[in-house]
A = this chain, B = another copy of it.
Amino acid sequence: MRKTPLHRRLETLQFLEPSDWTILDGLLTREEQANEGELIVLENQEINRTRIIHNGWAHRYKSFQDGRRQIINLMLPGDIVGFYAVMRNRSDYGVEALTPLEMSIFPAADLIDALSQAPRLMLALSWIASQSERILDEQITRIGRRNATERMAHLFVELFLRLRKAGIEENEACVLPMTQSVLADTLGMSHVHANRSFKSLSRDGGASLAQGKILLKDIDLLAMRAKFDASYLEQTSLPKPTLKAVQENEPFD
């Protein structure tokens, strides 16, 4: 099995044993592709598949009857789509490809089987799940308590760092394949205001537009404008007590 961004994220844990990798790779046998703009998951539709993104971007969104749309999270290589799919009979969100996508796909129930067999894998994938949850936390904080430019700069820095962690090269991580409307729906603002905020960032030299793509030019500058604190994304290893706990029970202090 080739090394996917998910592999790279999990490798940094230095925690899984060969048998765990084998079980993981057992899940990643079937591939799926999608075209730009394709809907991978439909809102309010049954879901029973889990996907791992190997290449390309997608977004997870909710839409209103009156046309409003909120993008909840951007899904990057190494992210899991429908981790909890087996626990729910309907999807409360949609997922749409922002670029052509390469993914693995498997029945969500297989995940449960794999995790019951391999506690370390369970821990490792829960670690991924916990990261997604922290990213949602930060999205809430960003939208709730930051103004438009801060919000945008903050998102840019987050995306850059997430891409790096998935093993995407720095120069590739600086190109965001999204329109300003997508940006607006992610940040909870109008596309007109998103444009004004973006212009403000590009005037400073933090970002620019090239071939219809957003280019991040000065991450440090963006981080400063966003008052960025990276701690919610940092995690190089599982804490020691955890590592022990998978082998043997730990006494309660």
* A to B CB contacts below 8 Å, 30 in the list: A48-B239, A64-B145, A64-B227, A70-B140, A70-B141, A70-B145, A72-B140, A72-B141, A84-B126, A84-B127, A86-B239, A87-B238, A87-B242, A89-B235, A107-B241, A107-B252, A109-B250, A110-B245, A112-B246, A113-B245, A115-B119, A115-B122, A116-B122, A116-B246, A122-B122, A133-B136, A136-B136, A140-B188, A143-B144, A144-B187
A92 at the interface (CB under 8 A from B): yes
Contacts of A137 in B (CB 8 A): 62, 72, 92-93, 136
Q: Are B239 and A89 in contact (CB under 8 A)?
A: yes
Mostly helix, strand, loop or mixed at chain A's interface? helix
B-contact 0/1 string along A105-138, CB 8 Å cutoff: 0111110110110010011001101101110111
Q: Are B130 and A88 in contact (CB under 8 A)?
A: yes
Q: Are A123 and B119 in contact (CB under 8 A)?
A: no
Q: Are A140 and B139 in contact (CB under 8 A)?
A: yes
Q: Contacts A116-B119, A139-B140, A188-B143 given; indicate if A235 touches B70 (C-beta within 8 A).
A: no
Partner of A140, one of B64, B140, B145, B246: B140
**Nearest CB of B to A238, in Å:** 6
Chain A residues within CB distance 8 Å of chain B: 30, 44, 48, 62, 64-65, 68-70, 72, 84, 86-90, 92-93, 106-110, 112-113, 115-116, 119, 122-123, 126-127, 129-130, 132-134, 136-141, 143-145, 187-188, 227, 231-232, 235, 238-239, 241-242, 244-246, 249-250, 252-253
**Which residue of chain B has the shortest Cβ distance to A240 in the bound complex?**
B89
**Which residue of chain B has the shortest Cβ distance to A137 in the bound complex?**
B72
Contacts of A133 in B (CB 8 A): 84, 132-133, 136
Contacts of A116 in B (CB 8 A): 116, 119, 122, 246
Q: Are A107 and B250 in contact (CB under 8 A)?
A: yes
**Which residue of chain B has the shortest Cβ distance to A236 in the bound complex?**
B89
Contacts of A143 in B (CB 8 A): 140, 143-144, 188
**Which residue of chain B has the shortest Cβ distance to A130 in the bound complex?**
B84
**Which residue of chain B has the shortest Cβ distance to A107 in the bound complex?**
B252
